[in-house]
Amino acid sequence: MAFLDPPNAAQKRKRYWIAAGSALATTVIMTMFLIESRWGYSPPDPVIIYAQSWKADRTREDAIADARATKAAREAKLAEARAYIATLTGKAREDAQKQYDDYVAGGGFKRDIPYVAARPSVEAIVRVPPPAEPPIE
């Protein structure tokens, strides 16, 4: 029954192992928190995609008119950019033209103007009443 009354050397050795194990466990946990905070294990944020919704009675002509209006809006934006580039000179013009070419090649104008309605599908929710006539005195 010597294990009930161990010598002092055995008790010290046991305490050292417990202290080393505690320090190691704390270090591992702190290191894992550091790694997670720097590089993270969390999944990336979800991408939200919005889709256009139309009335059920939308006709083919309405869809074609919307497509034409969208194309016209995109062309107007690109024409505005080309007109601005035409006003520049030298290195600024070359840089702006390269940026414009990259924008068009990457389809940026399609993301910036995804849809334009030819005519609004809903009426305005807020109606402003006509101005009241001043009282006659």
pLDDT digits (tens, 9 = 90+) for 36-89: 888 766 677 788 777 777 777 888 888 898 889 888 988 998 899 899 999 988
Instruction: Write the CA distances from 83 to 77, 100, 125, integer angstroms.
Output: 10, 12, 37
Instruction: Give pTM, 2 decimals.
Output: 0.49
Residue 120 predicted with pLDDT over 80: no
CA distance 123 to 137: 38
pLDDT digits (tens, 9 = 90+) for 93-115: 999 999 988 888 888 877 777 77
Question: Would residue 43 be called left, alpha or beta, if left means φ above 0 and alpha means ψ between -120 and 50 degrees?
Answer: beta
9 Cα distance to chain centroid: 63
Question: Would residue 90 be called left, alpha or beta, if left means φ above 0 and alpha means ψ between -120 and 50 degrees?
Answer: left
Q: How confident is the model at residue 17 (pLDDT cuts 50, 70, 90)?
A: very high
Residue 9 predicted with pLDDT over 60: yes
